[in-house]
A and B are shown apart, each in its own frame.
Chain A
Amino acid sequence: MSFSRRAFVKTLGIGGAAALSSSYIPRAYDLPSFWTPTLLAQEGPLLLHNNENPLGPGDRVLNAIREHIAPDGATIGRYPFALTGGLARAIAQRFDVEPGNIIMGTGSTQALRTATQVYTSPTKALVTATPTYEECTQYAQLIGSAVVEVGLNENLELDLDEMAAAARGAGMVFLNNPNNPTATVHPEDAVNGFIDDVLTASPDTMILVDEAYHDYVTDPRHVSQIPHAVRNPKVMAARTFSKAHGMAGMRVGYMIAHEDTVRELSPWHSFNTMNTPGILGATISILDTQRLEEEAARNTEARQYTIDWFKNAGFDATDSQCNFIFVKTGMNAQEFRDGARENGVMVGRNFPPYQEEWARISIGTLEQMQQATEAFAKVLRVNATAAA
């Protein structure tokens, strides 16, 4: 038994361990590889560090994949060329766009990289926030493009005015809405105003809006930029199947843009990067709006429980519109993370410059969050019962 497992059992007691084994508890990446999946399912810490959907994909998705690869996996031996069209059509149907508006790839990150490749250079900067999702930043640095990082405002929101000002003459602006790791969202009028500001002052600048967490947003003032992207060749909207669709392990994402933009990007976008189970799963999942709504509702409830727990314990979180929260624990993020780990919960990494007081915690199932808050109570030395 590993140290963390011992600590975990000690924390939860016998009843806790029993409850744990009956629920979906994923395993951690650094457990010994010889453990069987069954063992790991019971013994791993709670994984609240990667903003995953704790339930994974729905049965409709899994059954479609099982059926396709049955009875012996022979179809896995074939390249998925013939399946990609079906996914493009399904996405097009879901958003009332044309297949020619869509770029698909290995997670949304492939499209993020392609856009960075095409639209940034040593003289055409990437303008982005810090902290935000870093794929574009890292790829821009890799290919030698200029990068301008704009800090957040005092509410831990993207500083749209500063970003618009920095975008003059830039190649591309990256707008993560909602923003990872701060969980905040900008309403429709603010984003539209931002896009107008950027394009008025700098008409050649591209704007990439990453909507990875869109399906978890509950603020009614938020809208997707997909309709805008289809009309405006300067705007692109990226989406992923890794979050609310629960398919992080299957690596599929896409971007929607004007046909001319897609045509400009596609020669730089590697083909044959999606796998058969991922393509099939995504094709089913994108049209399964019922499950998506159920997943959003499930997340909202668990998120509210977690935010309330922290609030009652005296810790404020930002207004999360995601499947994670960004909370001011007042404790160094690594210290909090190590403490949580000791108590069987993994939480997010450091997000400078907020690492001294803020932590990112992904939202698992309600049951998982109830267990996790017991661990957080220990780490933060608060009375768990009082907080609940």
Chain B
Amino acid sequence: MSLSRRAFFRNLGAGPADSASREFIAARGREALVNEMWRSGLSYEEAEAQFGPPPEGAIVISSNENPLGPGPAAYQAVLDGLDQWAGRYPTNFRPSHADLMQTIAAKFDARSENVTLGTGSGEILENAAKAFTGPDKALITADPSYMQAVSVARRHGHPVKTVALDANLRLDPEGIARAARGAGLIFLCNPNNPSSTILPASDVEALVSEVQRSSPDTRILIDEAYHDYATDSAHQTAIPLALRTPNVFVARTFSKAYGMAGLRLGYGIGHVDTIRTLAQWTHVFNSNNLANAAAVASLNDPAHLEQERARNTAARDYTIGVFRDLGFEAADSQTNFLFVNLGRPASEFRDACRERGVMVGRDFPPMENTHARVSIGTMDEMRQAAEVFRQVLA
């Protein structure tokens, strides 16, 4: 064992169940940990065995993915793209970046200038943290929430203020507005990952108005990664609000309902002043040709999105019922995952499920001792997973 590997284990402790590695995964994700481990001398095989890909044949309901992938039109666009255009930079490919931005803008009655693309919406979140936080301009976020912007702010040494969820695991708009005074950026994940709940559109508007009054220079980023899975009529996209309100912008992804997590594409949309600043940080050629082609095809196929939403809703309702029958209540999920109070550590539940071929979500501090996150797969997968949940939770 190399010196650095020993040092790494000393830092991390014994193994996957250790709290240091759990914290690492919580902060930066499983992939980052695998990378970190092999960089420290562990062989890839060893690192992957502990933290890597799921066992063959496992039901993977851990990363909030769409189990079916993109629709037929998008899949065909990928195949067509492969046939001729993989060797060309995105500016020389049709649809180009510009075409995709135009297609996105048209969907929201906006202009291309209102849109900026990202390698997943993650790049939008990271660029927002770089562009809009600073040593004296804090990032405000709910806790727990999606961590990517937080990680970047912390890496740069910029202050991060967290605001706890309320008793129903919803974002606390008053608390967030209070914390936001003088802040650089508010990160608002709506619906929120991992708690799966929405902040109703009226509350979002009230929060925006309050922040504009009390802290007019603060930017507000609303991450709508799971928007397409929301079924509660109280939820609405904040994109129209963002388009007419300087300082407000929305992030969207093709990784969830559009089924393109493997193609790495997302976008930011909002008022041109904010988008222009954000776009300065955009990585050159950040989205690939196949993603661009699949995205345009998907956006032109709204019926498929409806179908995917309906499919998810049915499997979600079924899974909520399974937990309810076992005596466990999930938060009001408006996403493709559940956040369930199991009254036991998530790691216990996760390890027991994994042994039985079902992979569920990681720890979400500070709720890792009570709540588990379970993604929604196909109905068939959820039926099989339900058998395992019954065994594990009995």
- Which residues of A are at the interface with B, using a C-beta cutoff of 8 A? 24, 26-29, 31, 33, 35, 37, 40-41, 47, 50, 52-57, 61-62, 65-66, 69, 72-82, 84-85, 88-89, 99-100, 106-107, 109-110, 113, 135, 142, 242, 246-251, 259, 262-263, 266-268, 270-278, 281
| A contact residues around B328 at 8 Å (CB) | none
- Shortest beta-carbon contacts, A-B, top 9: A56-B87, A82-B53, A276-B262, A77-B69, A249-B289, A73-B75, A74-B69, A77-B259, A246-B87
Q: How far is the CA of A52 from the CA of B90 in the complex (A)?
A: 11
Given the interface pairs A100-B40, A267-B155, the reply to whether A41 lies near B264 with Cβ below 8 Å is no
Given the interface pairs A54-B87, A76-B75, the reply to whether A33 lies near B65 with Cβ below 8 Å is no
Q: How far is the CA of A25 from the CA of B163 in the complex (A)?
A: 56
Q: How far is the CA of A247 from the CA of B260 in the complex (A)?
A: 20
**Given A33-B95, A72-B72, A275-B263, 4 more pairs with CB closer than 8 A:** A47-B92, A56-B87, A75-B69, A82-B52
Q: How far is the CA of A263 from the CA of B122 in the complex (A)?
A: 22
Given the interface pairs A26-B92, A52-B89, A75-B69, the reply to whether A250 lies near B288 with Cβ below 8 Å is yes
Nearest CB of chain A from residue B282's CB, rounded to whole Å = 10
Tell me if B262 and A266 are in contact (CB < 8 A): no
Q: How far is the CA of A270 from the CA of B85 in the complex (A)?
A: 26
Tell me if B85 and A56 are in contact (CB < 8 A): yes
- Please indicate which of the listed interface residues A72, A79, A278 has the most CB atoms of chain B within 10 Å of its own CB: A79
Given the interface pairs A77-B69, A273-B123, the reply to whether A251 lies near B35 with Cβ below 8 Å is no
Q: How far is the CA of A33 from the CA of B84 in the complex (A)?
A: 17
| A contact residues around B155 at 8 Å (CB) | 267-268
The reply on B291 being an interface residue by CB < 8 A is yes
Listed by A's residue number, 26 A-B pairs whose Cβ atoms lie within 8 Å are A26-B85, A37-B80, A37-B84, A40-B94, A52-B89, A56-B86, A65-B82, A74-B67, A74-B68, A76-B259, A76-B263, A77-B259, A81-B31, A85-B38, A85-B48, A88-B38, A100-B40, A246-B86, A247-B87, A249-B81, A250-B86, A251-B119, A251-B288, A259-B39, A275-B263, A277-B288
The reply on B4 being an interface residue by CB < 8 A is yes
| A contact residues around B206 at 8 Å (CB) | none
The reply on B30 being an interface residue by CB < 8 A is yes
Q: Which of B41, B60, B70, B283 contacts A109 (CB 8 A)?
A: B283
Q: B215-229: contact bitstring with A at CB < 8 Å (1 yes, 0 no)? A: 000000000000000
Tell me if A249 and B93 are in contact (CB < 8 A): yes
| A contact residues around B44 at 8 Å (CB) | 85, 88-89, 99
| A contact residues around B53 at 8 Å (CB) | 81-82
The reply on B290 being an interface residue by CB < 8 A is yes
Q: Which of A41, A62, A109 contacts B285 (CB 8 A)?
A: A109
Given the interface pairs A26-B88, A100-B41, A248-B87, the reply to whether A73 lies near B4 with Cβ below 8 Å is no
Q: How far is the CA of A31 from the CA of B79 in the complex (A)?
A: 22
Nearest CB of chain B from residue A278's CB, rounded to whole Å = 6
Nearest CB of chain B from residue A83's CB, rounded to whole Å = 8
Tell me if A266 and B291 are in contact (CB < 8 A): no
Q: How far is the CA of A24 from the CA of B92 in the complex (A)?
A: 14
| B contact residues around A278 at 8 Å (CB) | 288
Q: Which of B29, B78, B102, B280 contacts A73 (CB 8 A)?
A: B78
Nearest CB of chain A from residue B110's CB, rounded to whole Å = 17
| B contact residues around A262 at 8 Å (CB) | 39
User: Which of the four size classes fits the interface of chain B?
Assistant: 35 or more
Q: Which of B83, B126, B289 contacts A270 (CB 8 A)?
A: B126
The reply on B237 being an interface residue by CB < 8 A is no
| B contact residues around A29 at 8 Å (CB) | 91-94, 96, 98
The reply on B286 being an interface residue by CB < 8 A is yes
The reply on B133 being an interface residue by CB < 8 A is no
In the complex, chain B residues 106-139 whose Cβ is within 8 Å of any chain A Cβ: 119-120, 122-123, 126
Q: How far is the CA of A303 from the CA of B30 in the complex (A)?
A: 46
- Which residues of B are at the interface with A, using a C-beta cutoff of 8 A? 4, 28-32, 34-36, 38-41, 44, 47-48, 52-54, 60, 63, 65-70, 72, 74-75, 78-96, 98-99, 102, 119-120, 122-123, 126, 155, 255, 259-264, 280-281, 283-291, 294
Tell me if A56 and B123 are in contact (CB < 8 A): no
Q: What secondary structure prevails in chain A residues at the interface with B?
A: helix
B288 nearest in chain A by CB position: A251
Q: How far is the CA of A278 from the CA of B28 in the complex (A)?
A: 23
Nearest CB of chain B from residue A357's CB, rounded to whole Å = 26
Q: Which of A76, A80, A274 contacts B78 (CB 8 A)?
A: A76
- Please indicate which of the listed interface residues B35, B63, B85 has the most CB atoms of chain A within 10 Å of its own CB: B35
Given the interface pairs A29-B96, A73-B70, A276-B263, the reply to whether A84 lies near B31 with Cβ below 8 Å is yes
Tell me if B80 and A62 are in contact (CB < 8 A): no
Q: How far is the CA of A65 from the CA of B63 in the complex (A)?
A: 22
Tell me if A106 and B285 are in contact (CB < 8 A): yes
A85 nearest in chain B by CB position: B44
Q: Which of B29, B47, B99, B263 contacts A271 (CB 8 A)?
A: B29
A104 nearest in chain B by CB position: B35
Q: How far is the CA of A110 from the CA of B253 in the complex (A)?
A: 20
Tell me if A76 and B262 are in contact (CB < 8 A): yes
Nearest CB of chain B from residue A213's CB, rounded to whole Å = 15
| B contact residues around A33 at 8 Å (CB) | 94-95, 99, 102
Given the interface pairs A33-B99, A259-B4, the reply to whether A57 lies near B288 with Cβ below 8 Å is no
Q: How far is the CA of A77 from the CA of B123 in the complex (A)?
A: 19
Given the interface pairs A52-B87, A85-B44, A99-B38, the reply to whether A77 lies near B80 with Cβ below 8 Å is no
Tell me if B92 and A28 are in contact (CB < 8 A): yes
A51 nearest in chain B by CB position: B89
Tell me if B264 and A273 are in contact (CB < 8 A): yes
B126 nearest in chain A by CB position: A270
| A contact residues around B280 at 8 Å (CB) | 142
Q: How far is the CA of A100 from the CA of B8 in the complex (A)?
A: 13
Q: Which of B259, B263, B283 contacts A110 (CB 8 A)?
A: B283
Nearest CB of chain B from residue A147's CB, rounded to whole Å = 16
Q: Which of A56, A77, A99 contacts B88 (CB 8 A)?
A: A56
B127 nearest in chain A by CB position: A270
Q: Which of B35, B66, B84, B89 contacts A242 (CB 8 A)?
A: B89
A246 nearest in chain B by CB position: B87
Nearest CB of chain A from residue B123's CB, rounded to whole Å = 7
Q: How far is the CA of A62 from the CA of B126 in the complex (A)?
A: 32
Nearest CB of chain A from residue B386's CB, rounded to whole Å = 21
Q: How far is the CA of A368 from the CA of B371 in the complex (A)?
A: 62
- Please indicate which of the listed interface residues A33, A251, A259 has the most CB atoms of chain B within 10 Å of its own CB: A251
Q: How far is the CA of A297 from the CA of B149 in the complex (A)?
A: 46
Q: How far is the CA of A41 from the CA of B83 in the complex (A)?
A: 12
| A contact residues around B72 at 8 Å (CB) | 72
Q: How far is the CA of A76 from the CA of B65 in the complex (A)?
A: 10
B34 nearest in chain A by CB position: A85
| A contact residues around B264 at 8 Å (CB) | 80, 106, 272-275
Q: How far is the CA of A35 from the CA of B94 in the complex (A)?
A: 9
Nearest CB of chain B from residue A53's CB, rounded to whole Å = 5
Tell me if B65 and A247 are in contact (CB < 8 A): no
| B contact residues around A77 at 8 Å (CB) | 65-70, 259-262
